[in-house]
A and B are shown apart, each in its own frame.
Chain A
Amino acid sequence: MKDAIKIRILQGDPVIHDVKNASLPKLFRGLPVIEDKPCLTGCTSCAEICPTNAIKLNPVSIDIGLCVFCPLCEEACPEKLIHFTNDYNTASEVREKLIVTNKTKSITPEKASEKIRNYFGRSLKLRQISAGGCNGCELELNALGNVNFDMGRYGIEFVASPRHADGIVITGPITENMSKAVEICFDAVPNPKIIILVGTCAISCGIFKNSTKLQRKFLNENKIDLFIPGCPPHPLTFINGLLDWLDK
């Protein structure tokens, strides 16, 4: 008993109380910003080096649904116009908003419809499906349940059975071998239900774009409610994305 109390005291108060204003290390690569200055004439360095072709030119834009948050474009730009900030708020309810231009200062999802907020605003139970995820996203989603992030305090939790869930969270590029399981699992979730894509692979295949072993039919046939970009997304990206979306 004495030992247990000792351990509990060591534990201290590790909870991040204010998840909206927590700060991350300087080097953390979150939302990229593009300075509103003209590029060198004819320069295509950033678009050329981007490993996932996330960058379009004239004017420069970065699709963070494709971006794997490596610092290659930041390093390649001769004018240092691209810079990754440590802003972890990058979730969006529509795919188009993930395209960062020199006008983008921040990305937050619009409030969900009143119907969704009424249904899920107080309690949201999610079933996670890893469909080719490398275990990076999965570990970050698991971290949401630890004593630091403690997502349960907002009524958002992962559950074991799709029957108990209000929606699914997909990680990974959806492999051929998992495509059927994803469909069966989603079918088992009672209506109304939502779909959240977590991580670059789920949103756009990321580095696995050229793989012939993927089957992403499911994503074309269903409406996606929330996109959480990152490789992998920081737990705070997930929490804040959901809190903003549910207006909590």
Chain B
Amino acid sequence: MKLIEVQNNQMFKIDDIRFTGKEEFRDTIAELMLNGSRLISLTPVDPDNPKKIFAALTDKNFSVIYLSGCDFNGSALEYESFANDFPQTNYFECELAENYGIMPLNHPWLRPVRKQNVIMGNIPYHFFQLKGEEVHEVAVGPIHAGVIEPGHFRFQCHGELVYNLEINLGYQHRGVEKLFLQLNSDQRIILSESIAGDTALGHAFAHCHAIESLSNIQLSLRAKVIRTVAAEIERVAMHLSGLGGIANDVGFALPSASYGRLRTLAINSLALICGSRFGRGLFVYGGVRYDIDNEIKNSVMENLNTILNDVRQVNDYMFSSVGALSRFEETGIVSKDLAQSIGLVGLAARSSGLEEDVRINFPYSAYRYNPVSMITLSTGDVFARARLRALEIDETLRFIIEQLENLPEGEIKAGSGKTVPGSAVISMIEGWRGEIVHSVFTDSEGKLMNYKIKDPSFNNWYGLSLALRETGISDFPLCNKSFDLSYAGHDL
């Protein structure tokens, strides 16, 4: 059977998707996953009328996205769950069930995604509980000790060791996907910057790409380079923030303070470019709002060179400390096989040895002309996730400085266009955490009909949960920080 293949950011007609019966849909998806594809989107085409569902799977070896559809055709809104054979689909199926009441039959563990204590609309849900004499339960959240977002963690412990960690989120749910359909174009960009405020540029990037593809807008090379430079500065800033948090969680004050200082330099560079320390306001449809002139370029370069020089020395200091390494190494391990089967993405996947990087596997924007290197580590522990950040900062700074030194000439903003009716696009971006996917569908008038967002945190929270198994409960803050996932991005 011939499948529809598209590339990252390639517009396609909704009518071209082949909607088959449940059996054929199941066989198609199962075969793709058996051959190493990963599910990135599972959603009805029209949320108001969820009788047809759409699935997108990526094959990183061929840089293609496979599209498949299922038409329930009047029969009950249920299908045989994939999750028993392919754990990566587990959470996608829970989400589909929660949002639209589409039931995955024989699902191994149907859990709430953004609701509390209830599944399938009204069936009471109870946390998994371990029973026995030496067993105890620890409940944390939704409000945590630090200045961070809310979420509930339920640990089942056997002595000091965590037997199971259940993560219950949804406290941040603001109804972002629905809002996208109601707002006008100026508002939508601002909303995309607020999906996850720490990845403002990543999500704005994905959103702009989606809309630009749907309205056939071509960008100048200069605009593309400015976009990628800004997005990479965001990556540097958040990796520094992550390293600072990891150092802080093992009580290592000096590196923590140094990473904090360097992060300020990185986000102040974004403020030099566009006035916001998080890059808000930079992205517009068709390009960027602010140009980088020589004065700004020189100030930014100065900041980046300071970071480049200092961060290497701070890294050497931290990663040669026996005390710090003893906390990092062999803590919170996710093996390569496990990472593959649960479908980890981004930084966490690369730390476990998976070659998952949208910038390289599905190149977009300026990465098509100026590639970055794939960096992977194999141990999948806190050390790998921390060390990978350090290595990526180095590579990313090299990329940014090279781009700024060779900034192409051109306009920074292209004209606007209208979104094409009856079409859809899958827009993938490598945010600093990992793969961001925006799947956008338009109706017969060209208005947005469905806006589906997948933050990398959606894949990776389950990874944190599994990393904690057989790990001391006192290592939880450290493991959590090493993943550094978004609550808002997950809850939407």
List residues of chain A with CB under 8 Å of any chain B CB: 3-4, 6-8, 10-11, 14, 24-25, 27-29, 49, 51-52, 68-72, 84, 128-143, 146-148, 158, 160-161, 172-173, 175-178, 181, 185, 201, 206-208, 210-214, 231-232, 234
Q: Which residues of A contact B271 (CB under 8 A)?
A: 24-25, 27-28
Q: Which residue of B lies closest to A131 (CB)?
A: B150
Looking at A138, A140, A213, the one whose CB has the most chain B CB atoms below 10 A away is: A213
Decide: A10 and B172 in contact? CB cutoff 8 A: no
Q: How far, in whole Å, are A131 and B174 apart by their CA atoms in the complex?
A: 10
Given contacts A71-B289, A130-B150, A139-B241, 8 further A-B contacts (CB under 8 A): A3-B317, A132-B171, A132-B173, A135-B149, A135-B197, A135-B486, A143-B264, A175-B172
Q: A25-B275, A28-B271, A133-B197 are in contact. Are A138 and B179 (CB under 8 A)?
A: no
Residues of A within 8 A of B198 (CB): 134-136, 139
Stretch at the interface among B35-43, B253-261, B347-355: B253-261
Interface residues of B in 184-237 (CB under 8 A from A): 184, 186-187, 190-191, 194-198, 200
Asked if B194 and A136 make an inter-chain contact with CB atoms under 8 angstroms apart, the answer reads: yes
Chain B positions near chain A (C-beta within 8 angstroms): 114, 116, 142-143, 145-150, 170-175, 178-179, 182-184, 186-187, 190-191, 194-198, 200, 241, 254-255, 257-258, 260-261, 263-264, 268, 271-278, 280-281, 289-290, 310, 313-314, 316-317, 320, 486-488
Q: Bound state CA distance, A68 and B277, in angstroms? A: 14
Minimum C-beta distance from A166 to chain B (A): 16
The answer to whether A207 and B172 touch across the interface, beta carbons within 8 angstroms, is no
Chain A residues closer than 8 Å to B276, beta-carbon distance: 28-29, 69
Nearest-Cβ distance from residue B83 to partner chain A, whole angstroms: 25
Take A131-B150, A177-B116 as given contacts and tell me if A27 and B313 are in contact as well, using a CB distance cutoff of 8 Å: no
> In the complex, are the beta carbons of B261 and A29 less than 8 A apart?
no
Known: A10-B313, A29-B276. A133 touches B254 (CB 8 A): no
Please give, as numbers and ranges, the residues of chain B lying within 8 Å of A212 by CB-CB distance: 175, 178
> Whole-angstrom distance between the alpha carbons of A87 and B195 in the complex?
27
Q: Are B143 and A181 in contact (CB under 8 A)?
A: yes
Asked whether, in the complex, the Cβ of A130 is within 8 Å of the Cβ of B148, the reply is: yes
Q: Tell me the nearest residue of chain A to B195, going by C-beta.
A: A134
Contact between chains at B197 and A136 (CB < 8 Å):
yes
Which residues of B lie under 8 Å from residue A185 when comparing CB positions?
A: 143
Residues in A with CB closer than 8 Å to B150 are 129-131, 178, 181
Distance of A8 Cα from B175 Cα, bound (Å): 46
Complex A-B: 21 CB contacts under 8 Å = A6-B313, A6-B317, A24-B271, A49-B186, A71-B281, A129-B143, A133-B488, A135-B198, A138-B147, A139-B198, A147-B260, A173-B174, A177-B116, A177-B170, A181-B143, A207-B183, A208-B174, A208-B194, A211-B175, A211-B178, A213-B173
Distance between Cα atoms of A178 and B149 in the complex (Å):
11
Known A129-B143, A136-B200, A160-B145; contact A232-B278, beta-carbon cutoff 8 A: yes
Q: Shortest beta-carbon distance, A84 to chain B, in Å?
A: 8
Q: Judge whether B149 and A25 touch: CB under 8 Å.
A: no
A219 shortest CB reach to chain B, Å: 16
